[in-house]
């Protein structure tokens, strides 16, 4: 899910980008009349510096915040990590979160997922990330990212193993830790390769040979009191992701040797651990890593000197009410003050429990809590609907401010909540996620010629329309907000008509007022409450809807959804989740024309009769494998019929009108998205924007002359792990909207 509030503004450094000379839009490209593809020739040149400022189209979080860490010695310095969307920092005295690794490139996008982050308690400038998204063989190998300026700049150490920032267990405890007594020593608990150690501040790493298992780990805890400052900490504890045998290991010689701690609960694994300063190690337990699949768990206290265990579980799960425990926090200022969270308790929502006597008695916080998100309409909709009376879901982490016992944060699958009155009889929570943008786009962004400036379709939380104020998603879609939207489209010549596909109801919502209000389509060719409702295209004049549900062919409606007619000649496309789903595209000029790119055959099909019949008009385009990354076919507004651009992982194509052949632009090696904006002064053709790779450099490129020259408009600090979708604004020259891979929508404006 997501967030909103004040926009962060980043001023990009001026760069000297490359320009690419190609086949221009002003002349018809050569080629045979049957649409034989033509390869263009190019000449490289340099153009002047291009500077851009970058802001968020504010929505608000919208993704899984998998971990929160307060700095133990700097009041107000806090970090939050996301499973796929990078890491954020909140500075002392600030209420806004700052993304710290938006400089990761498209090729390094899997490093946006961090399985853990570590702070040096004796040097507040240092920050370490254990980065890597997937543990499968196809995942990128992991890296340790190191910063000596709180994430402003980074150094990197590549690892030979994989880490799972977006794998099961990503919400367990911090398994990358800095020795609190000797900062050049770090330990890293991995997902599937045991324990690693660095003795040079994270520059080099080696597997700890004495660690008894190569199983996955869940947390690393140093007992600072076991050594003096300047000397390596002797006592360490590591949780292991195992429900059989030993699930907790201890070292008393700085990690040289290890022994299993006996006597723990059977059939469970510890997810988080914390020392209370009074000789106890407290741990939350579950029978699976989570955040899903947990059916049992508890909370236990281990007295370290006697190895005596105590079950201090607030509420035990039952066979009819299954859940485990995930989040765990001990107040650094009061060892008897403890907060824990349930995990995967879907029936009534997760809860937090607070104890002021070390776990002897507990108070459930849900019953005494209120939640407010006045700046986040989508969150307010949730708390007026399906989340009413609930704390949230996927609560796997909770942390208490080391300087203020009343200040506390907890995570959810859609953002984080913060309270400043934990000690009160009624606890008030605020959605303090300003600057965090994690919402994931499921289809191209739409910027119509009139009405709202921007429409988005988002996973989990529907999406939003933006008028001129991008600081709040005031046009959050209703009336069914808690679902994924797979596409949105607006009629270019009649922008009052809009449509979007959803994962609820009959799968399609319609608007006759530019997306201000929405109603369900009267009928539907897909099953009720379909979770694979595919994509919708709206004809330029708004008279025709072309709907391609997942795993089905296409359907046409000319009466605003009152009835549907099956198309002929449209391929039975795969699931909307498939890389080879065939999405429909409406011509932006001619109301009866629709297109689609069939990547399995390398063809473009066209309908000239409002989507009723399709036939192949071009062959010989890029054929993509089933695992290929995203491609996009787009129609240019305000030009001529069949003015199409095609972005694929193999390059960029242009079809400049009904009598033109497809031209592939040389030296554009790959493109994930293409879109159009207002023409530059002195130009008649709309500005073209791509997210692509030119001369081996991934970036956001702009052409103001129909593809003859290209200029990169982002810089090394603004890459967001790559960009899937890009489009310009047809009413504001130079403004560009991006669907960042790390999540959220970015807005670029020329300086």
To the query of whether residue 83 is one of the catalytic residues in this protein, the response is yes
Distance CA 502, CA 607 (A): 25
Order of all β-strands in the sheet with 632-635: 38-39, 663-664, 651-656, 643-648, 632-635
Residue that the structure tokens 């530019």 belong to: 514
Distance CA 344, CA 359 (A): 21
The separation between the first and the last C-alpha atoms of the chain, rounded to the nearest angstrom, is: 32
Question: Helices (H) and strands (E) in the chain — how many of each?
Answer: 1, 60
Catalytic residue among 120, 223, 460, 715: 460
> What is the DSSP secondary structure assignment for residue 528, as one 8-state letter?
T
Q: Which residues contact 339 (CB under 8 A, 6 or more apart)?
A: 327, 328, 329, 352, 353, 354, 355, 365, 398, 400, 408, 422
Element (H, E) at 39: strand 38-39
Question: How many Cβ atoms from other residues are within 10 Å of residue 43's Cβ?
Answer: 11
User: Which residues face 693 on adjacent strands?
Assistant: 670, 698
User: Which residues face 574 on adjacent strands?
Assistant: none
Query: In 168-315, where do the E strands start and end?
Result: 176-178, 186-189, 195-198, 206-207, 217-222, 236-240, 248-251, 259-260, 269-275, 280-286, 297-303, 308-311
Question: How many Cβ atoms from other residues are within 10 Å of residue 625's Cβ?
Answer: 10
Distance CA 316, CA 298 (A): 7
Q: Residue 300's closest CA among 261, 333, 332?
A: 261
Residue that the structure tokens 């490139």 belong to: 105
Q: Under DSSP, is residue 154 helix (H, G, I), strand (E, B) or coil? A: coil
In this structure, is the dihedral angle defined by the CA atoms of residues 160, 165, 166 and 167, taken in order, positive or negative?
Answer: positive
β-pairing, 535-538 with 584-586?
unpaired
CA distances (Å), 684 to each of 217, 263, 426, 704, in order?
Answer: 59, 76, 61, 9
Distance CA 141, CA 192 (A): 13
Q: In whole angstroms, what separates CA 361 from the centre of its chain?
A: 38
CA distances (Å), 480 to each of 60, 257, 406, 517, in order?
Answer: 18, 56, 35, 12
Residue that the structure tokens 């529907």 belong to: 462
| Alpha carbons within 13 A on the beta-carbon side of 126 | 20
Distance CA 46, CA 52 (A): 18
Distance CA 381, CA 554 (A): 33
Catalytic residue among 83, 108, 179, 598: 83
- For residue 266, which phi and psi values (nearest 5 degrees)? -85, 150
Residues annotated catalytic, as ranges: 83, 460
């Amino acid at each position: 899910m997501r967030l909103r509030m004040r926009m962060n503004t980043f001023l990009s450094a001026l760069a000297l980008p490359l320009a690419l000379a190609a086949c221009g839009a002003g002349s018809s490209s050569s080629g045979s009349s049957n649409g034989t593809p033509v390869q263009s020739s190019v000449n490289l040149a340099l153009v002047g510096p291009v500077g851009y400022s970058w802001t968020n189209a504010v929505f608000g979080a919208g993704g899984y915040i998998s971990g929160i860490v307060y700095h133990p010695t700097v009041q107000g310095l806090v970090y939050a990590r996301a499973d796929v969307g990078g890491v954020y920092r909140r500075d002392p005295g600030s209420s806004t979160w700052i993304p710290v690794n938006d400089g990761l490139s498209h090729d390094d996008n899997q490093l946006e997922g961090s399985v853990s982050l570590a702070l040096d308690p004796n040097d507040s400038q240092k920050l370490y990330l254990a980065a890597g998204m997937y543990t499968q063989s196809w995942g990128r190998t992991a890296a340790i990212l190191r910063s000596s300026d709180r994430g402003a700049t980074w150094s990197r150490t590549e690892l030979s193993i994989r880490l799972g920032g977006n794998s099961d267990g990503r919400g367990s405890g911090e398994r990358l830790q800095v020795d609190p007594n000797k900062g050049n020593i770090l330990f890293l608990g991995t997902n599937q390769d045991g324990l690693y150690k660095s003795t040079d501040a994270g520059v080099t790493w080696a597997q700890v040979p004495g660690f008894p298992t190569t199983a996955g780990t869940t947390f690393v805890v140093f007992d600072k009191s076991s050594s003096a400052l300047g000397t390596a900490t002797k006592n360490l504890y590591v949780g292991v992701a195992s429900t059989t045998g030993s699930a907790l290991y201890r070292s008393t010689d700085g990690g040289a040797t290890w022994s299993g701690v006996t006597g723990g609960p059977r059939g469970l694994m510890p997810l988080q651990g914390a020392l209370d300063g009074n000789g106890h190690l407290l741990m939350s337990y579950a029978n699976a890593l989570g955040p899903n699949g947990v059916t049992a768990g508890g909370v236990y206290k281990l007295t370290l000197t006697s190895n005596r265990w105590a079950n201090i579980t607030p509420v035990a799960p039952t066979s009819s009410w299954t859940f485990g425990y995930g989040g765990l926090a001990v107040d650094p200022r009061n060892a008897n003050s403890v907060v824990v969270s349930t995990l995967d308790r879907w029936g009534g929502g997760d809860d937090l429990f607070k104890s002021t006597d070390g776990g002897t008695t507990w108070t459930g916080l849900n019953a005494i809590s209120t939640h407010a998100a006045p700046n986040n309409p989508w969150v307010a909709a949730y708390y007026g609907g399906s989340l009413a009376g609930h704390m949230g879901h996927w609560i796997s982490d909770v942390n208490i401010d080391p300087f203020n016992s009343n200040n506390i944060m907890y995570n959810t699958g859609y953002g984080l909540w913060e309270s400043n009155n934990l000690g009160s009889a009624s606890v008030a929570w605020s959605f303090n996620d300003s600057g965090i943008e994690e919402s994931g786009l499921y289809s191209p962004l739409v910027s119509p010629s009139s009405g709202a400036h921007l429409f988005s379709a988002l996973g989990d939380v529907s999406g939003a329309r933006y008028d001129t104020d991008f600081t709040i998603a005031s046009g959050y879609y209703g009336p069914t907000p808690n679902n994924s939207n797979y596409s949105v489209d607006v009629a270019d010549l009649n922008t009052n008509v809009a449509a979007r596909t959803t994962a609820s109801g009959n799968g399609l919502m319609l608007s006759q007022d530019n997306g201000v209000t929405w109603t369900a389509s009267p009928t539907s060719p897909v099953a009720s409450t379909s979770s694979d409702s595919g994509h919708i295209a709206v004809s330029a004049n708004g008279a025709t809807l072309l709907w391609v549900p997942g795993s089905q062919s296409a359907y046409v409606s000319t009466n605003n959804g009152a009835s549907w007619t099956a198309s002929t000649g449209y391929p039975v496309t795969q699931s909307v989740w498939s890389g080879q789903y065939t999405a429909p595209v409406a011509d932006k000029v001619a109301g009866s024309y629709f297109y689609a790119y069939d990547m399995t055959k390398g063809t473009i099909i066209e309908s000239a009769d409002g989507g009723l019949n399709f036939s192949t008009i071009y062959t010989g385009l890029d054929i993509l494998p089933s695992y290929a990354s995203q491609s996009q076919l787009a129609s240019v507004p305000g030009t001529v019929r069949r003015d199409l651009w095609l972005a694929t992982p193999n390059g960029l194509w242009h079809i400049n009108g009904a009598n033109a052949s497809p031209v592939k632009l040389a030296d554009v090696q790959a493109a994930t998205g293409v879109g159009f904006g207002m023409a530059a002064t002195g130009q008649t053709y709309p500005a073209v924007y791509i997210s692509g790779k030119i001369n081996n450099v991934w970036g956001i490129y702009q052409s103001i002359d129909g593809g003859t020259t290209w200029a990169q408009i982002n810089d090394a600090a603004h890459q967001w792990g790559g960009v899937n979708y890009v489009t310009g604004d047809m009413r504001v020259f130079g403004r560009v909207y991006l669907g960042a891979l790390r999540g959220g929508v970015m807005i670029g404006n020329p300086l």
